[in-house]
Amino acid sequence: MTYIYSFLFCGLLCLIAQAIIDNTKLSAGHVTSIFVVAGAFLDIFSIYDKIIEFVGGGALIPITSFGHSLIHGALERTTDSGFLGIAMGMFDLTATGITSAIVFSFIFALIFRPKN
């Protein structure tokens, strides 16, 4: 059942993004930034956590989950470090994604040549 929810959730997010791009002057950069902010916003009341529980992998792959991971890592640290934990834990959960993206893109940039 989570497979169907994954398909529907991720597909619906992409459909909304496409609708925004087709009907307004916003670019892909605008839409991804808006989605990240939306993902972080949904975590104020732990809504995105419930969506992940319900949907599974389909909720982890869209860029909204990046915003969710940022705020989630920040809040996890506040339990033992207090207010400072927000800054300390900001990249706790997203670090693997960002690090691997940097490393892979560097290695591939050394190997491959740009097309036109």
Helices 2-23 and 28-41, packing angle to 10 deg:
130
Q: Which of 67, 61, 62 is nearest to 44 (CA)?
A: 67
- CA dist 103 → 9, 91, 108, 112, 116 (Å): 30, 17, 9, 14, 23
62 exposure class (CB count in 10 Å sphere: 0-12, 13-18, 19+): buried
Residues 53 to 82: which contact another protein by CB under 8 A? Answer: 56-63, 65-67, 70-71, 74-75, 78-79
Kindly state whether residue 90 participates in binding another protein, applying the rule CB under 8 A. Answer: yes
Give the number of residues in contact with another protein, rule: CB under 8 A: 68
Query: Does residue number 101 form part of the binding site for another protein (CB under 8 A)?
Result: yes
Enclosing H/E stretch for 34: helix 28-41
Report in angstroms how near the CB of residue 37 gets to another protein at its nearest: 4
Contact residue for another protein among 24, 25, 32, 47 (CB under 8 A): 32
Q: Footprint of another protein on this chain (CB under 8 A)?
A: 2-3, 6-15, 17-19, 21-23, 28-29, 31-33, 35-37, 40-41, 43-44, 56-63, 65-67, 70-71, 74-75, 78-79, 83, 85-87, 90, 96-98, 100-102, 104-106, 108-109, 111-115
